[in-house]
Structure 1
């Protein structure tokens, strides 16, 4: 799918893999990591909106989009090394790191272990509190089945799953086509790793956690986790599901803007 003309694209070689990235804007850098089944082009609307004030770099995680899809390297340590390598290869000084779902988990552990970003934004992190209550073998088979089912449907059929009211049909087509560029190897992402909340003890930079809407009990559990952050704020986005920037774009992007302007 084509990018708007204000965007450029390229690749970096890092951690034994070619990573595709997308870039727009100027100013302090923001690096954005997508979730499972997506790619870096998911962030075109948000990146374009931020481009007047920030340099925005998104990328395709290994096994996704136009990046390499090796047999190995889907563990958390490799995902962190990929992101750190991208930042280093592009000579980005103290970027803000933003991630959604799988990408949010990657960002959190990057901030905790290997890199000290200027700030961190976590949009509904995967495995926030604990691993899913299924075996890793079952989780991998569910991933493979989801990919098979998605790729068996036409793009037009997949488009019907999306609401184009906010960002238009060009972007809906990007979202609908994303699974076509996913390797079956992404099923290997179903691996045991420490819950994201455990990274919070080691994250020292300002951190914003954007969570889906939730009932009182779940909000309390989320707030307890966020209390482990030294300089953090947790916001539940009303009416949002897992895709907070897609479900409630205005509310989520407003919270992001406030955080970035601190």
Structure 2
């Protein structure tokens, strides 16, 4: 068990319907935030968001799963309500942050990582193994399987301000229409992370083969949910690794758990009941 300097802030009632906000100090002193909702003592699900994103993007899952599970939505460093630190935007530190969060939680947990959160989660497994894990849900990012993702040709567009580029990025994650207020709030939250730190996260200097090796090193049940550009990786992962379940969302955007929340929630709920708990 790591030694943590802990600062905990408790908000609201302890009942399953009210979110509870907590802060703790990571081992490098960075103040990290997570929210928790659902009955105490229930099995725990931890949601880890993608690049620059806040944990509250998983609100549809927090509402759905908190009836039966203890749901934790994590703000990685520099994101959401966590501190913008002077460094640590690399796989090693991000994996350590997840490990230090999991050390605070009871029992074995399911971690659901989305986009960069997939790689953060695999970085945690690379360092700490899977003893704390009951299962994994990996959402719409490459896991180092073959074939590598193929990206279309780059066509530079007009020169935009950082605010405009981030708004464009946020809007591009959804196929279903989101309200202007939602998109504005999400954009402003993503802009908290300074550009240099955001770019450091995009580099993530790890060979893609390591992600595959880290995932294959674990034998916990896995649900891998992707869009069609990663379908071949999903099929290969299912072949190469036992206890792997796959699903493809052909009509959703990158934030597929928002675009098609009912389907995603039902799929993940079935996985939890039949393969994990």
Q: CA deviation at 1:206?
A: 0.5
Further displaced range: 245-254 or 157-166: 157-166
Partner of 1:194: 207
Contact persistence 2:145–2:236 (CA under 8 A): no
Give 2:113's aligned residue.
Answer: 99
Q: Would the aligned equivalents of 2:38 and 2:67 in 1 still touch at CA under 8 Å?
A: yes
Q: Is 2:254 the partner of 1:242?
A: yes
Structure 2 equivalent of residue 85 of structure 1: 100
TM-score normalized with structure 2 length:
0.75
- Write out aligned runs for 1:67-78 (5 A): 67-78=82-93
User: How far apart, in 2, do the equivalents of 1:221 and 1:43 lie?
Assistant: 25
Partner of 1:192, secondary structure, is coil
In 2: Cα distance, 1:245 partner to 1:147 partner: 29
Q: CA deviation at 1:22?
A: 0.8
TM-score (norm 1): 0.79
Q: Is the 8 A contact 2:48 2:76 kept in 1?
A: yes
CA 1:202–1:251: 2 relative to 1, 3 Å: same
Which of the residues 168, 179, 188 maps onto 2:190?
A: 179
Q: Structure 1's 253 and 112: CA in aligned 2 closer, same or farther, altered over 3 A? A: farther
Query: Unpaired segments of 5 or more residues in structure 1?
Result: 135-141
1:63 aligns to what?
78
Is 1:36 the counterpart of 2:51 in the alignment?
yes
Match of 1:123 in 2: 139
Structure 2: gaps of 5 or more residues: 1-11
Contact 2:52/2:191 (8 A) holds in 1: no
1:25 and 2:38 matched = yes
The count of residues paired between Structure 1 and Structure 2 equals 244
Kept in 1, the 8 Å contact 2:50–2:114? The answer is yes
Partner of 1:222: 234
What CA distance in whole angstroms lies between the structure 2 residues aligned with 1:158 and 1:242?
11
1:259 Cα deviation after fit = 0.5
Q: Deviations over 1:12-49 (max 9, x none)?
A: 11231211111100211111100002111111221111
For residues 70 and 58 of structure 1, the distance between their equivalents in structure 2, rounded to whole angstroms, comes to 19
